Amino acid sequence: MTEYVHGYSEREALRLEEQADTLEELLHSDTIYPPGEKVLEAGCGIGAQTVILAKNNPWAEIISIDVSPDSLEKARENVKRKGIENVRFLQADIFFSPFQRREFRPCLCLFRS
C-alpha cells in the first residue's frame, strides 16, 4: 500500500474531522440524494465526510470504501458514535472496484477552494 498523504496519526484524524465540520455548510449544504439512492463514497478515509453525507441523507444507502483497514476502523467508530445506521464500509482499492459497472449513478461533486 502506498503511503497515505495525510498520515494515520490521531492528531491528523482530529484535524480531518474538524476540517469536515468547518466546511460542512460550504461543501454539503446542497448534497441531497433521492430516497433509496445508493451512493458510493470512494476513499472515505476516517469517515469525516461520511458522517456528514449519511446524516444529511438518512434515506440513502452510503457505501464507503477505503484501502486502509486502520482508516476504515476509525470511520466505523465515527459513524457508530454518531448513531448513524445507513452506511456500509468495505475495504477496497478505488482502482480495482468490487462493484459492477453502472451499479451507481454518476454524480459530479465539486469542491471549491
pTM (predicted TM-score): 0.74
Q: Is residue 46 part of a domain?
A: yes
Which residues, 6 or more positions from 70, have their beta carbon under 8 angstroms from its beta carbon? 8
Residue 35 in domain: yes
Range of the domain at 84: 10-91
Region 77-84 average pLDDT: 94
Domain count, the chain: 1
Determine, yes or no, domain membership for 105. Answer: no
Q: How far apart are CA 41 and CA 89, in angstroms?
A: 10
Angle 10-28/48-56 helices, nearest 10 degrees?
A: 40
pLDDT at 20: 67
Beta strands at 87-91 and 61-66: parallel, antiparallel or unpaired: parallel
Q: What is the DSSP secondary-structure string of 15-40?
A: HHHHHHHHHHHHHHTT----TT-EEE
Residue 107 in any domain: the answer is: no
Assign residue 50 the CATH number of its domain: 3.40.50.150
Percent of the chain with pLDDT strictly greater than 70: 76
